[in-house]
């Protein structure tokens, strides 16, 4: 509900029924940031289990994430299989910055090099030797139980409130310290608010 309330002219579109995708919904609208009106699309996709959702989900996820500024996953790590499936099927666009938030049990420990390798290949090893120049990741180091979306909502609000930039420490402060959330990839950022 807050997603629609926070956007001007918000509309909701339900995605088509697709094998492996239980529900897809997109809220579109506009927000003013820095005196400029910007279009915002927030798409939620619900699946039973990421690692077994199938090719229709993988293709849809790749297409959505290739143009996304922020990618959020809240769910089971599946002892790594869900996190690996997300990372290996995630879309990317050369030179496009993305923030990825993986909220589940020990997502940091399960995250392999797939997202970073994809960015090295897209951007070139000379420009992006670690695959982090255009990618920052927030992950959990310990078991992370459902938080009713509090940290995700805080991240969403921070993205819309770009006129009052938040630091990664501010964002991490919204996540329970019991989950040992960390940020990596920010060491080569060039943007300064």
Please list the residues that pair with 30 across neighbouring strands.
8, 39
Lowest mean pLDDT among 29-38, 140-149, 166-175, 180-189: 140-149
Residues 6 or more apart from 149 whose CB is under 8 A from it?
A: 74
191 pLDDT more than 70: no
Percent of the chain's residues with pLDDT above 70: 97
pLDDT digits (tens, 9 = 90+) for 102-117: 999 999 999 999 999 9
Q: Could you tell me the pLDDT band of residue 146, with boundaries at 50, 70 and 90?
A: low
Can you give the pLDDT at residue 176?
87
Exposure string over 85-112, b if 16+ CB within 10 A, otherwise e: bbbebbbbeeebebbbbbbbbbbbebbe
Can you give the pLDDT at residue 7?
95
Residues 6 or more apart from 137 whose CB is under 8 A from it?
A: 99, 100, 101, 102, 111, 115, 183, 184, 185
Token output for 180:
């040992």
136 pLDDT more than 70: yes
Q: Could you tell me the pLDDT band of residue 97, with boundaries at 50, 70 and 90?
A: very high
Lowest mean pLDDT among 49-58, 126-135, 145-154: 145-154
Residues 6 or more apart from 76 whose CB is under 8 A from it?
A: 49, 82, 104, 105
Domain residue ranges of the chain, discontinuous segments joined by +: 2-186
Percent of the chain's residues with pLDDT above 90: 78
Q: What is the rounded average pLDDT of the residues 59-73?
A: 97
Asked if 75 and 104 touch (Cβ cutoff 8 Å), the reply is yes
């Amino acid at each position: 509900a807050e997603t629609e309330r926070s956007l001007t002219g918000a509309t909701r579109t339900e995605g088509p029924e697709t094998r492996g995708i239980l529900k897809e919904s997109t809220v579109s609208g506009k927000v003013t940031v820095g005196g400029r009106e910007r279009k915002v699309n927030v798409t939620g996709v619900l699946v039973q289990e990421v690692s077994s959702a199938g090719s229709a989900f993988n293709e849809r996820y790749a297409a959505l994430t290739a143009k996304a500024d922020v990618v959020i996953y809240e769910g089971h790590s599946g002892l790594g299989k869900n996190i690996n499936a997300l990372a290996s099927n995630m879309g990317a666009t050369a030179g496009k910055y993305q923030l990825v938030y993986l909220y589940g049990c020990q997502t940091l420990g399960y995250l392999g090099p797939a997202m970073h390798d994809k960015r090295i290949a897209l951007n070139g090893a000379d420009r992006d030797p670690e695959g982090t120049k255009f990618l920052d990741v927030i992950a959990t180091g310990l078991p992370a139980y459902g938080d009713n979306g509090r940290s995700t909502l805080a991240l969403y609000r921070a993205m819309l409130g770009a006129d009052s930039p938040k630091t990664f420490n501010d964002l991490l402060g919204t996540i329970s310290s019991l989950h040992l959330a960390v940020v990596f990839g920010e060491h080569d950022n060039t943007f300064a608010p």
